[in-house]
Amino acid sequence: MSSTDSLFNPLLHRLPPALLALGSQVVALLVVTVAAIALRENSVGLPLPLWAALDGLAAVLLSRWLGLPAWWQIINLVFVPLLWLALQSEIDPLWFLAGFALLALTSLGAIRTRVPLYLSSPRAAEEMAARLPEHARVLDLGCGLGGPLSGLSALRPDATLQGVEAAPLNWLIARLRLLGRAQIHLGNIWDTDLSGHDVVYAYLSPAPMPRLWEKARGEMRPGSLFISNTFAVPGVEPDEVVELHDFSHARLLIWRMR
């Protein structure tokens, strides 16, 4: 690898994966467009579906060079071909607008936070309920649609429940769903004080876990529980691992703060 690459790649890797994937698509589209123009000037033409497939191939190669996860590579591979197929289907454009609006209200913040919407299974609430101390104060960071808090409110009515959610539509759904049973705040998990809670639960993604662990260590009281659904803290072994045996093969990673 050249010295230019050694400087260039770390700078790129500081960007969110979604922006890197988008950049791959833009560069691939430019390359394919230039190639199409050059071939046309030489009286060589290729059918549009083949150009769409070539664009996907170029985008996935760029994604691999950037070190994006496999699922981002698959998205880049199929994005333009699927877009071409959608345009051929004569779907009313309003449906695309509605889909984008729904995405923006539920998940667009993932571009910045790198935390998509994950839905916990009922088993997560059941296992947490069995481990809560009496009259526990529980905080769900990134509570989504309020599933775990709803389960806990039914299983442990003695608990005081709070949730924090950054996506407006998710927050509204959770707030209405848990009206009178939990306090749901619209806000950022990094601005949320963890010190007043006996249990902090998070189902986020690998990206924020190191920073979140440092926040938990700095704010949570000794003896309180930090619980992560599925995603580990790099280099820190949990005190307990609970397999949920649910549809997503999730597990609870539990740390008792010291």
Q: What is the DSSP letter of 132?
A: P
Across the chain, the runs of DSSP E, i.e. the strands, are: 137-141, 160-165, 183-186, 199-202, 225-229, 240-243, 251-256
Q: How confident is the model at residue 11 (pLDDT cuts 50, 70, 90)?
A: low
Domain of residue 30 covers: 3-90
Fill in the amino acid letter for 32.
Answer: V
Q: How confident is the model at residue 255 (pLDDT cuts 50, 70, 90)?
A: very high
Average pLDDT over residues 242-254: 90
Structure confidence by residue, pLDDT tens digits, 168-183? 888 999 999 999 999 9
Structure confidence by residue, pLDDT tens digits, 122-140? 999 999 999 999 999 999 9
Give the H or E element holding residue 27: helix 17-41
Q: How confident is the model at residue 8 (pLDDT cuts 50, 70, 90)?
A: very low
pLDDT at 2: 40
Domain assignment of residue 105, yes or no: no
pLDDT at 214: 97
**Residue position matching structure tokens 């539920």:** 106
228 and 149 in one domain?
Answer: yes
Question: What percentage of the chain carries pLDDT values higher than 90?
Answer: 49
Reply yes or no on whether the pLDDT at 1 is more than 50: no
Query: Distance (Å, rounded) from C-alpha 56 to C-alpha 76?
Result: 6
140 and 82 in one domain?
Answer: no
pLDDT at 181: 96
150 and 247 in one domain?
Answer: yes
Domain assignment of residue 130, yes or no: yes
Reply yes or no on whether the pLDDT at 32 is more than 60: yes
pLDDT at 217: 97
Torsion of CA 69, 246, 173, 204, to 10 degrees: -40
DSSP-based three-state secondary structure for 145: coil
Domain assignment of residue 137, yes or no: yes
CB 142 within 8 A of CB 201: no
Instruction: Tell me the pLDDT of the chain averaged across its residues.
Output: 85
Question: What percentage of the chain carries pLDDT values higher than 70?
Answer: 83
Query: Distance (Å, rounded) from C-alpha 115 to C-alpha 102?
Result: 16
Q: How confident is the model at residue 66 (pLDDT cuts 50, 70, 90)?
A: confident
Prediction pTM value: 0.65
Compute the residue count for the chain.
Answer: 258
Domain assignment of residue 235, yes or no: yes
Q: How confident is the model at residue 6 (pLDDT cuts 50, 70, 90)?
A: very low
CB 53 within 8 A of CB 81: yes
77 and 139 in one domain?
Answer: no
219 and 141 in one domain?
Answer: yes
Q: How confident is the model at residue 108 (pLDDT cuts 50, 70, 90)?
A: low
215 and 136 in one domain?
Answer: yes
When mean pLDDT is compared over 39-43, 114-118, 163-167, 254-258, the highest value belongs to: 254-258
Query: Distance (Å, rounded) from C-alpha 43 to C-alpha 149?
Result: 64
Domain count, the chain: 2
Residue after which a domain boundary falls, among 90, 111, 139: 90
CATH code, 229: 3.40.50.150
Reply yes or no on whether the pLDDT at 207 is more than 90: no
pLDDT at 5: 42
Q: CB count, 10 Å around CB of 107?
A: 16
Structure confidence by residue, pLDDT tens digits, 70-99? 767 888 888 888 877 877 777 776 766 676
Q: What is the DSSP letter of 15?
A: S
CB 252 within 8 A of CB 127: yes
